[in-house]
A and B are shown apart, each in its own frame.
Chain A
Amino acid sequence: MGNLVKQEIYKLVKRPTLTYFWGFLLVFQIAAAVYVSHNPQVVNPQKAFLGNFFVPAMIAFFMISLCSTTLSTEIQSGTLKSLLYRKYSVYQVLISKWLSLLIYTITLYVAGMIISLVLHWMMFQKTIPLSVQLPGGHSFLQVWALTSLGSFLSLIFLLTFVLLIGTLFTSSTAALVAGIATYFITSIFNQLLFQFIIQHDWLKWTPFNMMNIGDQIMTPSMSEVTHLSLFEMSAGYLVYAVLFLGAGLIIFRRRNTR
């Protein structure tokens, strides 16, 4: 399995699109930081820093496109078959792909956070003191770390569903459209969800609500609107993630061993 994951990571690293994305990410983050430092009245620098200068949204879009098309591109180029008729099981092949994507997402997030810290050091040292205590009792640095962790966990949850969708398509275009549509649908529905939960309590168990885990880690009072404790939400998060990935494995095996 370790060998398979290494192979998948090697392929990711060698893909030209991914190399370009690293460059884009760096330029985007620097440009955003420069804009914020010059226009603090338009964008609150503290909020911009807490949100890693908008990089998580870029990472989310990129990873959704990558996760939704990771299988379809291999099907279209004919490479998937040659991965399957080796000594590894069908499940190992798919899980290694997923693990490599997880590692890649973590790498992107950590890189984004490090760049944010560097940009803070270069431009926002005076305006955003990291050690200052905020009303919740956490330092600014802690809140930043929790916010980043929260958005990372929400993205990972969304990606588990996108990975499931990715097993359904053989065309990259269709897979990409479905992946991006998932992002927008979940974002829109998540906005409306709290209204619906007030009227229909059972809706708190839907996967949309589990995407709020990040916010709830950072702000425990979120439980009043999500109607779930952090423990319940964590359990729901894990159960849905396992269900999505389990369904993905079953679909993948059936489609590739007919």
Chain B
Amino acid sequence: MDSTVLSASHLKKSFGQKEVLHNLSFDLERGKVTALIGENGAGKTTIMKTILGISEFSGSIELDKQSVSVHDHRALDSVGALIEYPGLYGYLTAREQLTLFATGNDKKGKVDDVLNKLHMTGYADQKTASYSLGMRQKMGIALALVNKPMLVILDEPMNGLDPKANKELRDLIAEEKAQGVSFLISSHILTELQKIADDVIVIDKGNLIFAGTMSQILDNGKHFIEIQTDKDEVAQQALTEAGYQTDLDQGQLRVLVKDDSLNHLLTALLDQDLTIKRIYEQPADLETSVFNAIGE
């Protein structure tokens, strides 16, 4: 079986004169979680809509070697999605709506299974009009998962979820991933994405900035060192003159280093008449890495 579940080539999309996706190409790996990251308006939802065949585009999208477009939805049989916010029929219960959208023979089994996985059985027979934001969000995720898809596309799935539900969602994604399900997830909560994603796609203003693994983006060679000295201002000036990007805030001197060697940094400090009290490495986080990738 091919390791690529989805392949997008030369995606372009315009609204009138304004091009919002500029020739994007990327692959999604089978059985992996891919984070789709970008600012508001970067084009994340547009990418998801093109994959789901509800937005015109030029270029090509192949899902398991089968073409997807607004004219051809056949490949979407194996895709589940939650885009923007969950659409629920308020006059139906969760169980009724899931059964309505379930396909194949064992509809009841599929519905019971997803209700159990998302810990929704307690309120599965209530009309969804009475649901809280978090319950609605879970229901949207349940609808995406009910037909046991090969690829799940989730747009801001953590919206409205409390910490416990967030943890449950992470665990569920890990479980599904272990069974070979692939995920494409966009979220502004990068700390959550860092915990679950294997691969990362960063887009900015419709341009592909980065497509690679999580460890690649985190280990881009950029991380911070925090230093405490008896003369922080002097230390900052010396490091700035030595070419480092520094930030001094409330007695904490943060220095951005671009390689693993600290020799140059330490030499610059020891050349001054100061005492280094503490020095420690702050591991790179996804947020910083994304900002670095975008160049901000």
Q: A10-B100, A85-B81 are in contact. Are A80 and B56 (CB under 8 A)?
A: no
Q: Which of A86-94, A115-123, A188-196 contacts B (4 or more CB under 8 A)?
A: A86-94
B143 part of interface (Cβ distance < 8 Å): yes
Distance (whole angstroms) from the CB of A171 to the closest CB of chain B: 17
Contact B56 A85 (CB under 8 A): no
Number of chain B interface residues as a range: 20 to 34
Q: How distant is the Cα of A99 from the Cα of B143 in the complex, in angstroms? A: 25
Chain A residues positioned under 8 Å from B54 (CB to CB) = 81, 84-85, 90, 256-257
B85 part of interface (Cβ distance < 8 Å): yes
Chain B residues positioned under 8 Å from A79 (CB to CB) = 87-89
B53 part of interface (Cβ distance < 8 Å): yes
Q: How distant is the Cα of A88 from the Cα of B71 in the complex, in angstroms? A: 10
Question: CB within 8 A of B76: which of A78, A85, A257?
Answer: A85
Contact B73 A88 (CB under 8 A): yes
Q: How distant is the Cα of A90 from the Cα of B53 in the complex, in angstroms? A: 9
- Count chain A residues whose beta carbon lies closer than 8 angstroms to a beta carbon of B: 25
Of chain B, the residue at the smallest CB distance from A253 is: B70
Contact B91 A14 (CB under 8 A): yes
Chain A residues positioned under 8 Å from B56 (CB to CB) = 257-258
Q: How distant is the Cα of A87 from the Cα of B85 in the complex, in angstroms? A: 20
Q: How distant is the Cα of A89 from the Cα of B75 in the complex, in angstroms? A: 11
A77 part of interface (Cβ distance < 8 Å): yes
Distance (whole angstroms) from the CB of A91 to the closest CB of chain B: 10
Q: A11-B100, A257-B70 are in contact. Are A82 and B76 (CB under 8 A)?
A: no
A16 part of interface (Cβ distance < 8 Å): yes
List residues 234-248 of chain B with CB under 8 A from any CB of chain A: none
Q: How distant is the Cα of A77 from the Cα of B91 in the complex, in angstroms? A: 11
Q: How distant is the Cα of A214 from the Cα of B4 in the complex, in angstroms? A: 59
List residues 49-89 of chain A with CB under 8 A from any CB of chain B: 74, 77-82, 84-89
B180 part of interface (Cβ distance < 8 Å): no
Q: A78-B84, A79-B87, A257-B56 are in contact. Are A7 and B76 (CB under 8 A)?
A: no
Q: How distant is the Cα of A258 from the Cα of B15 in the complex, in angstroms? A: 8
Chain B residues positioned under 8 Å from A77 (CB to CB) = 87-90
Contact B74 A87 (CB under 8 A): yes
Q: Which of B81, B88, B91 has the most CB of A within 10 A?
A: B91
B37 part of interface (Cβ distance < 8 Å): no
Could you give, for residues 157-194 of chain A, a 1 whenever the CB lies within 8 Å of some chain B CB and a 0 otherwise?
A: 00000000000000000000000000000000000000
Distance (whole angstroms) from the CB of B279 to the closest CB of chain A: 52
B83 part of interface (Cβ distance < 8 Å): yes
Q: How distant is the Cα of A234 from the Cα of B57 in the complex, in angstroms? A: 41
Tally the A-B contacts, defined by beta carbons under 8 Å: 73
Q: How distant is the Cα of A89 from the Cα of B87 in the complex, in angstroms? A: 19
B92 part of interface (Cβ distance < 8 Å): yes
B77 part of interface (Cβ distance < 8 Å): yes
Chain A residues positioned under 8 Å from B70 (CB to CB) = 90, 253, 257
Chain A residues positioned under 8 Å from B75 (CB to CB) = 87
Of chain A, the residue at the smallest CB distance from B51 is: A85
A200 part of interface (Cβ distance < 8 Å): no
A15 part of interface (Cβ distance < 8 Å): yes
B55 part of interface (Cβ distance < 8 Å): yes
Chain B residues positioned under 8 Å from A90 (CB to CB) = 54, 70
Q: How distant is the Cα of A79 from the Cα of B129 in the complex, in angstroms? A: 13
Q: A87-B73, A257-B55 are in contact. Are A11 and B87 (CB under 8 A)?
A: no
Q: How distant is the Cα of A74 from the Cα of B83 in the complex, in angstroms? A: 15
Distance (whole angstroms) from the CB of B88 to the closest CB of chain A: 7
Contact A78 B55 (CB under 8 A): no
Chain B residues positioned under 8 Å from A11 (CB to CB) = 89, 92, 100
List residues 33-60 of chain B with CB under 8 A from any CB of chain A: 49, 52-56
List residues 204-258 of chain A with CB under 8 A from any CB of chain B: 253, 256-258
Contact B143 A82 (CB under 8 A): yes
Distance (whole angstroms) from the CB of A2 to the closest CB of chain B: 13
Q: A87-B76, A257-B70 are in contact. Are A81 and B87 (CB under 8 A)?
A: yes
Q: Which 4 A-B residue pairings sit nearest by Cβ, starting from the closest?
A: A78-B87, A79-B87, A85-B52, A87-B77
A sample of 12 more A-B contacts (CB under 8 A), given A7-B101, A78-B86, A82-B143, is A11-B92, A14-B89, A78-B84, A79-B88, A82-B87, A84-B52, A85-B54, A85-B73, A85-B81, A85-B83, A256-B54, A257-B53
Cβ contacts A to B, 26 pairs, < 8 Å: A7-B100, A7-B101, A14-B96, A74-B87, A77-B87, A77-B88, A78-B84, A78-B87, A79-B89, A80-B87, A81-B83, A81-B84, A81-B87, A82-B83, A82-B101, A84-B52, A85-B53, A85-B54, A85-B73, A85-B79, A86-B77, A87-B73, A87-B76, A256-B54, A257-B53, A258-B15
